[in-house]
Copies of this chain bind each other. A is one copy, B any other.
Amino acid sequence: MKNPRIIGQSIPRLDAPDKATGRAIYTDDIKLPGMLYGKLLRSPLAHARIKRIDVAKARALPGVKDVIIGADTPQVKYGNWRLVPGSQDELPLAVDKVRFVGDEVAAVAALDPETAERACALIEVEYEELPAIFTVEEAIAEGAPLIHDESPGNVSLVRKIAYGDLDQMFAQAHYVREDTFKVHAVQHAYLEPCACVAQAEEGSRVTLWTSTQVPYIVQCLLASTLGLPENNVRVMKVAVGGGFGGKMELRPWEFCAAFLALRTGRPLKFTLTRSDELAFGRRRHPMSIYSKVAFSKEGKLLAKDFQVLLDGGAYNAMGPTATYLCGTFGNMLYNFPAYRYLGQHVYTNKPPASAMRGFGAPQAAFAAETQMNLAAQELGLDPIDLRLINAMQTGDEIPEVATISSCGFKESLTKVRQISGWDLKRKDKKPGRGLGIGCFSFISGGVFNWFNTKYNFSAAEVKVFEDGTAQLACMACDIGQGPDTVLRQILSAELGVSIEKIRLISMDTAATPKADLGTWGSRVTLMNGNAVIQAAGKIKDMLAPVLFSQFDLNQIHDLAFEDDKVFVRANPKRSMSLAECVYKALKGRRGEPLTARGYYTPRNKGLVSPAFSFGAQVAEVEVDADTGLTKVVKMYTAHDCGVPINKMSVEGQLEGAVQMGLGYTLMENLILDQQGRTLNTTFLDYKMPTAQDMPPGESVDVDTYEPEGPFGAKEAGEGLAIPTAPAIAHAVYEACGYRCKELPITPEKVLRALGKIK
């Protein structure tokens, strides 16, 4: 299939110059007249009953305009899983109990942030401390204290998948192995800490500017917690400095800002600090994973028993989705006849875990891919060969998931083997050096409607003007991943209008068509892209009559829309500028503007995703046997994201993913003390790879065309964040013999494995 020229081009991000030069406006830049500043009082205890709160002294402090506690609020529980109302377990401000160090207890509105801070310190809270739980094992143990009364055994959600005859497969297997894995908590560490500004309007309406990935979700949940109709809340997104899954829920400060703005009649701003984010913010789920696999003599995967305990922290947050996807990604990539998954989302008295780039898959894949490497060794097979034997391909069906309509996994394996020099380097092994492999598959947006939206999953509105320009309006969010450019490329490709002539409006739930579920699950390019294409198609239908009538065309002629022109494909001389064509159509419509809306919801694509990406990654490492330090020498990636709309953007995603994977595997780790207080709350203590730590990389795209994707595209945002940990862990084993089953790979663990320390 031949795509328009602009598809696949490396177009620099259209939003980049404004961001790079400081001209872009972020939420904290917003200043409104009479604006107040908000601060939150948080629980100092991990688990306690609130006996009494006295805000009198705080109220009396000059400059304080309002103080609220949970009892002042409508006390509506919220959570993204509206489809299962019982899963909504969070209150904007705690009422009876606090469940983690940092749980929000009260909020202050004051003339300046310092006064608000001082007022928080004047609020007296009397707690009755309760025993706290910090591990999933403690949490599910008999007689453990209950964190939520509604969840016996502290398990908030169980997800099961089962197909095939597991027992029979294990019985007939040539080779069976079982392993347990542990993964830890890391954070998104987006550059822009959360911030929001709320402004009340006409007494019962509120506008919220907030750093979010999901304006529509925030709109709905904020309205329900305020007790207002959904459409009395307007969410405006300005520039967002990263999200990675950490900004995809309603958050307490958003509620408090809106609630206080309505109470005080004045605008109000909350801005979190980096320490707030590291100490109390959302994070990737720590998990305990048990996996048992069976193989035939030839290396055919026969069965897998996959059991996961997700450490959800104090509230569900996006834990249900992670629990769900963990099971899905425990059986992706390979065909096998029997699978059983038991995922349990467990409460602990820690800051809630939630969505983070990969959404359950990096953890599941660390276990599953590491186990593949272990099995290969035992089976005496090359790990890539073992994968090739079992790899999915186009047309395969994943039970309960989907039919795979495009799959470049085998090609990815073959290509990464080639570019990494896999065979030669494994044969000709250097001491202290090793190559390891990890693979991935990921969704291009979700089908299962956990948010229970009544609207299409994505919507876009296209307007064309007689000056030859166009406008694209949608709620899709650019949080750094590039859709502000990619969606315009898609419109440009479909309608032939130059990309620089397209204005994008993407930040306003009141001004853009309803709805878009936002940025998560790598959904934007495919889902919003399809909505854009549908809208553009309707515009073409409005323009076609002009040419057919003006040039007296045969009705069977096809029109082409390219280079700001409309012309007869069979006879390009019969052409008109797009501007002129719009002008004539507008005149013909007696002044009715040319506007069209397109929508997308996946249909007949199963319950998980309309399309899946695939890929394989090889890490080459050097382990220093004296220091235990792992140095990643080079990363090789081959991946199938369908047709990349913007090559440079895909490369950016890859580089960012390697950086995050590196941090996850080797450095980052949120460490809590015995009282559940986070110890590393600055970037001095929470170590992340910097640009200087980045290894060189080499990558290759595998050519597929996803029929469900716009111009053949599918996801490239999250899948690439999955394989790095198992690849590096494997490489470390090959380099020094340390077989990591518990992330991160620290020098201490390496030295202990090498017997150099105890």
Contacts and interface: CB of A to CB of B under 8 A. Distances in A.
Interface of A: 14-15, 17-18, 21-23, 25, 29, 31-34, 200-205, 223, 229-232, 234, 265-266, 453-457, 459, 463, 465-471, 473, 500-501, 503, 505, 508, 510-511, 513-515, 583, 586-587, 590-593, 595, 597, 599, 601
A23 B263 CA distance: 13
A15 B59 CA distance: 31
Given A29-B32, A232-B503, A454 B23 contact: no
Contacts of A590: 456, 601
Ranked nearest first, the 8 interchain pairs of A and B with the lowest CB-CB distance are: A511-B511, A229-B467, A456-B591, A29-B33, A514-B593, A231-B469, A455-B591, A230-B467
Given A468-B229, A591-B601, A266 B32 contact: no
A127 to B, nearest CB: 38
A494 B601 CA distance: 32
User: How many chain copies does the complex carry?
Assistant: 2
Nearest to A597: B595
B503 A231 contact: yes
Contacts of A591: 453-457, 599, 601
A583 B223 CA distance: 17
A466 B468 CA distance: 36
23 contacts: A17-B203, A18-B202, A29-B32, A229-B469, A229-B501, A230-B466, A230-B467, A230-B469, A231-B465, A231-B469, A232-B469, A455-B586, A455-B592, A455-B593, A456-B590, A456-B592, A457-B591, A459-B593, A463-B514, A513-B593, A513-B595, A514-B593, A515-B593
Contact of A25 (B15, B32, B453, B587): B32
A595 B505 CA distance: 18
A168 to B, nearest CB: 42
A501 B15 CA distance: 36
| Among A14, A33, A232, A515, residue most surrounded by chain B Cβ atoms (within 10 Å) | A33
A217 to B, nearest CB: 15
A86 to B, nearest CB: 22
A169 to B, nearest CB: 41
Contacts of A501: 229
A549 to B, nearest CB: 19
Given A465-B231, A601-B591, A23 B510 contact: no
Contacts of A31: 31
Contacts of A515: 593
A31 B30 CA distance: 8
A216 to B, nearest CB: 12
Contacts of A601: 590-591
A456 B203 CA distance: 34
B23 A266 contact: yes
Contacts of A32: 25, 29
Contacts of A15: 202
Contact of A454 (B204, B232, B587): B587
A659 to B, nearest CB: 27
Given A22-B34, A456-B592, A591-B601, 6 more contacts: A230-B469, A455-B591, A456-B590, A463-B514, A471-B510, A510-B511
A627 to B, nearest CB: 45
User: Of A34, A231, A463, A505, which is in contact with the most chain B CB atoms at under 10 Å from its CB?
Assistant: A231
Nearest to A582: B454
A23 B267 CA distance: 9
Contacts of A459: 593
Nearest to A203: B17
Given A23-B34, A34-B23, A467-B229, A202 B599 contact: no
A727 to B, nearest CB: 38
Nearest to A28: B33
A719 to B, nearest CB: 27
Contacts of A234: 503
Contacts of A455: 586, 591-593
A34 B25 CA distance: 10
A516 to B, nearest CB: 11
Nearest to A205: B503
A699 to B, nearest CB: 29
A587 B601 CA distance: 13
Contacts of A25: 32-33
Contacts of A223: 467
B503 A467 contact: no
